[in-house]
Amino acid sequence: MNRIQDIKNILKGELVNPATGEIIEGAEIIEALEFENALKKRFQRDGLKYKKEKGIVESKVTEMLGGSFYILQYRNTVNAILEKYEKINSAFAFRFIYLCSYMNYDNILIFDSFKRSKSKYIDESDLREIMNLSRKQLIEFKKICFEDNLLEKVEVEGIPAIKVNKMVACKGKTPTYYNRYSIRVSINHIQEIYKRATAREHKQLGYLVSLLPYVNFHFSILSHNPECEYKTHLNPLSLQDICKILDYDIKNAGILLTALRKPTLNGKLVFLTVLYKDSEAFLLNPAVYNKVSSNEALKWLYELLESSEIWTNNKAKRKKGKIEVKSLKEMCISGMKIK
């Protein structure tokens, strides 16, 4: 017999509140208890529904990111770089984000065990091979990393290794100070982009790091209000806004846009242009950087991506008519229906 039925059997008459002398009908108490019980059941159902939805979203996002990712605390990362320079060193920022993709769940940098026969831990002497930089570039990169405590030299089981500062990046469960200031970074995709790029292209790729604080928490679009929860109230960044953030001459906005569109992932852009409220808006490819937190946001993101994903940056083919595209705007009009 349940608790409410037991109480029903007891409360068949009236009760008196000894403090106030108020007479309370037993039926009133039973009604209140039934309401409390219904409320608890509703909370339990809502909790299970939330967990189920969260699991579905995480599964879809993980698939979108290529199966594996780490979490970047971009506010701390950008601030750490700004402490060293008057403005963000975009080439360094991209190189650091790439290197973080090699860390394990203890934040220790490791080699892919399926590709290396030597020790799985990466030490300082291995960085030349991992980073593929010139001697001068590598010296500067290591100097910043170790002097600014982004990386730390440690020993694991008596073997020299390198640990990533958990204040800027981690894998698995994230600390509370990551909330709303973190983003998922695809391990496979960031490594693929880095390995295909030249050292000169790292600067353009690093521009995107400066834009991470502007990725909307719910709807992915680069915006002035990244914590806005209502898509109708989003205030997207314009190309001119992006120029100001990157300290780029607005007169050369077209050159910047070309540079941002240059990096690709399997033929798809990393920096995407979409149509929002009949105007141009921008977002980072969620297969590389992903901040989606709900099923609603994920569905809306799919709608935005439908035409952006197939955009290519081959002007010559478009001019020759080999690709049937009249304008970028036409390519960015959402057309995918989510069931």
> Are the C-beta atoms of 281 and 215 separated by less than 8 Å?
no
pLDDT at 113: 46
| DSSP state letter for 321 | T
pLDDT at 3: 56
pLDDT at 88: 64
pLDDT at 168: 93
> Are the C-beta atoms of 336 and 306 separated by less than 8 Å?
yes
pLDDT at 223: 94
Residue 81 CB burial class (10 angstroms; 0-12, 13-18, ≥19)? buried
**Distance between CA 73 and CA 170 in Å, rounded?**
8
pLDDT at 322: 41
pLDDT at 137: 93
The residue written with tokens 């970028």 in the block is 328
Strands across the sheet containing 289-290? 169-170, 69-73, 182-186, 289-290
Question: Which stretches of the chain drop beneath a pLDDT of 70?
Answer: 1-30, 32, 41, 43-55, 82-88, 113-119, 267, 305-339
pLDDT at 201: 87
What angle (nearest 5°) sits at the alpha carbon of residue 208, between those of residues 205 and 209? 105
Which residues are CB-neighbours of 230 under 8 A, at least 6 positions away?
none
